[in-house]
Structure 1
Amino acid sequence: MRLSKQLCLVVTGLLLALALVGGRAAPAFADEPLRLPGYVTDNAGALDRGQTAELQQAIDSLYSRDHERLWVVYVRNFHGMDSHSWGEQTARLSGFGDRDVLLSVAVDDRAYAFTGTIPKSVSDKELDRILIDQVEPKLRAGDWARAGLAAANGLSHAMSGSSGVGIGKLLLIALVVVLAVLAVWLWSRRRTVRREHAVMKSARQTDPTDTAALEALPLVILDALSKETLVDTDNAIRTSTEELRLATDEFGAVATAPFTAALEAAKKALAKAFSIRQELDDDIPETPDQQQRMLIELISSCGSADRDLDAKVSEFDAMRNLLINAGDRLDALTRDLVELTARLPGSQATLRQLVADHPASVLEPIHDNVTMAQERIGFAERTIDDGRDAVAKPVGQQGAAVADIRAAESAVDAARTLLDAVDNAATDIDQARAGLPGMIEELRHDLAQAAELSPHGDTELSTATAAARAALDRATADANTNPLGVFHQAVTADTALDQAIAAATDRKRAADELRRRLDQTLTAARSQITAAADFISTRRGGIDADPRTRLAEAQRSLQQAEQLSTSDPTRALQSAQRAAELGSRALLTAQAAVRDWQAQQQRLAGPPSGSPTGAILGGILIDGMLRGMGNQSRRGGGNFSGGSYGPGSFGGSDGSRRISRGGRF
């Protein structure tokens, strides 16, 4: 029993000693982060000598070719730490720089980490492909050496292949961009030409005296239209001068006096237009507002002169044609006189009956029509005789016949009108009485419409409104005593008012169209200015004074347009168009400045990590900003954790591509 007790004590002591020894030995199997002694560290006994040499050779080859340092360490476990933290601490203890990466493998924990600064020539997708498609499958199979070789060879292939492929891709992208820009330019140019032709065609239909319509035209269209108008007017005056000379020789200065006056006025307008054109073409520049004002004055003066000449064309042609058919015209006038003379007794009888049937006030407009018709017939007989005498004279002395024929025609027409009024008076009086209520309502309706259009009216509308109001008052007061007279006055006043209302309606429609264009242009200007301001604000370190100046002027023009939008929409539209143009130029010059700045930085120190150059050149950042993405460009990349971006590092524009990837396998 004593021996057994001693044996138990010995066994218990041995067990305690083993427990104590085992407790102190356990940490030998847990690998803490360490300073790596070499590029291949195998604390887990995962490699044999040949595998170690092969892996070292691959790592040396990677450095020789690409100057990238790959470190590989095999341990049993990560000392209870997660793989990323263990890899980061080991990299820090080993003094890693920006060209060092570490592959850490815990063979018992079946976990790994890939830590360090990813080479600039290796993309995130390429790194994912190396780790997920090449390294992890070897680790899962327990092929530790092949996993390290896959990391070394994968990095080497990605770095050596990416430069050639990158250049090729860049060249291809550059070619595509050039072709796209060329295609867009050609399409834009063709579209601009078509649009200019369409605008020019429409501009030719514009009333040259309508300054409001001319002010709405672009400056380039105004300039082209002014040149066309100048040439057309000059040609018209040259032709009219020659024609008038021949006519004066034939008919005399008195008969051609109205045409001479019109031609002289046109010559003065043309001289003024040539003077304006000379000012525009000289070496002294004018502001866009001055150019617009001068071009509108040129077009308006030429247009007025051309219109005055055109107004005389039919009269001028009729004067020359009269002489050719003078004999026939005089014979026809004689037949008309015979017919009118035969109507006189009947018309006289009709007038006597009307006097018996109606009050004198009703017949006031026609009570002396028969007497006046007789006078006109006598005058026509005398002028016809004078015309026949003039036609009998030698060629070149027959011009007086034209005036005689016209005077006789006028007298015959007046006599016929006077007799027709008497013969139709009974019917006209009845119709006037029946039509007056409707005409009165028409006048009231048109006067109400004219009041609504008064903001868009002119002197024509105000004059027509006053005449229509007077006609309405007289029609209401004298409908029974003078139905025929007030009815005719009401019809005449309403016709003039209708014409004035139509003109005011056109002006209102033009004003509404101007307002619509102004609203659209203001919206476009605000968008352009906002885009330019956001771009400059988020990239101000690489943008010089020019884009900022354009932006400031665009903002000033936009403010001016908004201030004038109510009081002077025409000038407001011009300011809004200028604001949109300057905003676009500010954005384009700012983009160019950023590209130049980044190119300079690349020449001096190579492309900065995470540089948004590609995004800017491709327009991605601008497109994102215009779509509300703001300025969330990724500068510096940040840290990877589990394959996703973490927060970026604090500091300036030079970011870091520090990564830590890995996990269990």
Structure 2
Amino acid sequence: MPVQSSEVDLFSVLCCLIVAGLAVLLLFTMLGRRRRRQGQAGSAPHPPAGPADPFAAYTTQQLNTYANAQLVAVDNAVRTSEQELGFATAQYGTDAVTAYAAAVAAANDELAAAFRIRHQLDDEIPEDDPTQRRLLRDIVDRCAAMDRRLDAEADAFEKLRAMQANAEELSAGLTTRAAQLRASLPAAEATLTRLADRYTDGALTPIAGNATEATARLDFADQQLHAAATALAAKDRGRAALAIRGAEQAVGQASSLLAALDKGAADLDAAGANVTRLLDEVQAEVAAGKAAMQAAGDVGGAGQMNLAAAVARADQVTGDVRVHLTGAKTDPLGMMRRLETAAAGLAQAMGSIRDAADRSQQARRQLEQALHAARAAVDAATDYITTRRGAVGSTARARLSEAHAQLARAESSTDPVAALSAAERAHDLAAQAVDSARDDVERWSFPSGYGQTGGGPVVIGGPGGFGTAGAGGMGGAILGGILLDSMLGGGGMGGFRLGLTGESNQDDATAPGSRTVQGRYGGPSTWTRPEK
């Protein structure tokens, strides 16, 4: 039977409606999925802006420990590079080392900035935790920049020195110089004996061990020169050059130790005369303070109370110093430091009753003695820390760096009052640096575990190293920072183990797997890779 047209039309309409419904359903489904994806994208966390913090997992104390280790490692590298630069300058002249001198100067500037941050963290004003972490990161970043700056010049500097090619000539010169220094040891011992009869143990702290340490450095130099001769006979010039560098640094330190002893003796003798002059100045100020108090009568107030306290303190100090001067042994620089502190307090208390001209004149009278004492104290601290840097931690180095900055400020200032204050501060900081460094050295122990068996020789660097040394020679080389115990697989900077015991920022130097590396021109990362 034929299909009616009305039935066909109804069927067509139904099909169209079904297709349209399916299309609408599909459209809503797609729109829903898109909205869900957009919502998920909007709620997803955004990646952090900038580079990730590599120390995010470190506690603040761990970051502090790490930053201290970087400072010590870089400071050692800069001091060694300065010494190596001096050798190269003597060999080739100033013009040949311009680029290397610039690198050391730039590293020194960065180092001073890093130590200023360390000094800020150590002062009496506490920082909150985020500020501490930011400052510690700044120290770490500066240390890394110094390392890269020095390391960039290290290979070219090594080529300039050409120690392999000049091994015979260098060895002969060092042998002669070592013999000359050894011949001067009896005179050094005699100087120490004379000083011990006149000055206290505290006064002699920076130089008391210099003759002994110089002997240890010369012993190490002799051992390395013998190793160099053996290597040259075996036609191993690389091994010979490495031994010669060790001898060169040891001879240089022996010379510095003996020169520091002579200078320290001269500074102590000169300080004795300066103490008497400063004592008279401070006593005159005490008298002026007492007169000012009498003129004021019974008028009270904070100013008068401060003046009375400062006068009493200064009067007590001058009396103590006068008694100390009559003793069999004295400490001239220590007495200068006490007098300077008393004078500074008295000057501050009398500032309200003196005009600017009077204050300037008074400061000018004391400035010469204060500058002499500051220079002597800073030089003594520098020599002490440099020649014992293998044992000295970051605190002493930070104090010394700030002492140098204050001394430079005192020497350049045109204001006598400001210059006097800076000189006194430099003296105080240098004394703090020596005290801290001495504590580090006293806690220091000779690292073991270098292939030593019983009382036999120590193989430096293990197989393929550059010779052998008796414990005395090697102990002096490690104490002087000529050799550093290093975990060579520890990632470069911060891996140096300096033989300290009892300081939280140092690792155990006796750990298995450690061996020594030799300092050379360059950064800490230079020292952890083989020489080319």
TM-score by shorter chain over 0.5 = no
**TM-score bracket for this pair, using the shorter chain length:** 0.3 to 0.5
**Larger relative contact order (Cα-Cα within 8 Å, sequence gap ≥ 6):** 2
TM-score (norm. length: structure 2): 0.33
TM-score (norm. length: structure 1): 0.27
Bigger Rg, structure 1 or 2: 1
